[in-house]
Structure 1
Amino acid sequence: MSNTKVALVTGATQGLGLALVEGLARRLGPGDTVYLTGRDPERVAKAVAQLPETAAEVRGELYDVADPGAATRLADLLRDRHGGVDIVFGNAVMRVGPDDDPAAVIDEYTEVNNFGTTRLLRAFLPLLRDGGRLLVVASSLGTLHQLAPVLHGRFDGLSSLDEVDEQVASWRDAIKDGSAKAGAWPMFINIPSKIAQVAAVRVLAGQRRPEDTRRGILLAAVCPGMMNTPTSGLWWDVTAAALPAEAAVPLLDLATGPVHPGHYGRLIRHGRALPWSPAA
């Protein structure tokens, strides 16, 4: 059996995703492969070409997370090529700015950020080898502290990814028809979206914990912290924030270092598990 490792990063043509690819390629060794994925073939090819030479091979692959069938197709391709995967970063994100109308963007936003995440989890968790890592890039906004208590039950205590998807669809529809404005939903759509991503990880962790623990697998959501990027700069003053390459370091440590039992199924920021709810 081959001892070479296979890693995959979604949304990897720029920013944090590109930094994660470069960091993995530097940390992995000869014979290992890091897949840099994105939805635009020209941008994928350009991103691969700009990376420095490393011992691990970086390969570009098309993967549009908004395409309902794309996760299964890519998982089948990597299964055929390698038999399994060792590291997966779910980093693809549709970014929005302060001037975007939530009702106008919410369909595409949830398709990429939320349904894209649950499709990734369904397709790639079964491919993880012993010692594997699947890390969903979320945010410290992805906890129930950020949501009105009356809405906590929407994402707490769920038992399946289908239930997570149903709650996301219900929230999406409330944004579209305007009823969210009369309720307790925050108008910053990033908050419920990130909470739903963390909820998806928590659901699967509840199902998989004993077997994943036995096999040394880490499933977690991760928060890179505030980053100095053009999109973040639309919302906040990011002049003192970390650049993507700096923000990638603690995420790469999780992907390549020893597994901490307290990190499993949690939202991790700078090596520390954040509480999911005010009662935690």
Structure 2
Amino acid sequence: VFRLAALSHLAPVTDRYGYNSLVASPEFVVSDLMLDTTIQWQQPPARIHVRIPVGNQIFGLTLDTTSHSATLLSLDQQSVLQQGSYAAGDGQSVHLIASGFDQQIAVSINGQMPFPELPVEHAQPPDEPVEASAAPVGDHRPDPARAAGISLLIERQKRWALGISGASANVTRLNMYRDVFYTPGRRRNAVKSDYVIPENCYFVQGDNSPVSSDSRNWEKPVVPHAFLVGKPFLVHLPSKPAILQFAGREWRIRIPDWERIRYIH
């Protein structure tokens, strides 16, 4: 069962970018995540619950849809950490964002924060980075024994969870965002030391950051403001894969992803 799960849908969130599938570099598990979801109902549920792991600690967020209150708890210590209220919105839905980025808990409900960000004191980073190369990439099939080991590891990890009690509801949107950062030993352009950025200068990072040549590996990492000659107005990448068929032949190509193309105001 574990082997089949590891070879199918069960896998950790990693730092691999889909458009870098041909780049020969290892994958590492990313634990800094953010939940962005919208929940709708006809009869409001009594509670909405979110489990938020940060480092080696687990926190719980509970929304009371009747009193429009939010409570943040330490599930390890069984103690209340923060409480606040939020706007009711349309009364039939809630837009919830919960983040564990940068070793702190941040929550937004219907566009407002019910309480300030909470730094997680004494939160330890995850254990040594776990290579996730057992996940299928392209036509590669991982070693079954290694895949089973990865799956067992995933089973033991502290996961995010979303739950509803007291009524039925529909999750109309559910996105998980990752905060990918680069440290020595991870990517070829990993950050190896701190940078001091002078006034009127910029630290530049390429959009395809795992393989970009940018401030992280330039001899002079900063770019003076005087060197900027224009302002970008359009985002057109990443593209998406497609198949072109003609005369009984097929070609794999990249085409614009119109849902991602946008103007910069």
Q: TM-score range by the shorter chain?
A: under 0.3
Q: Which has the higher helix share?
A: 1
Larger Rg: 2
Q: Which has the higher strand share?
A: 2
What TM-score comes out, normalization by structure 1 length?
A: 0.24
What TM-score comes out, normalization by structure 2 length?
A: 0.25
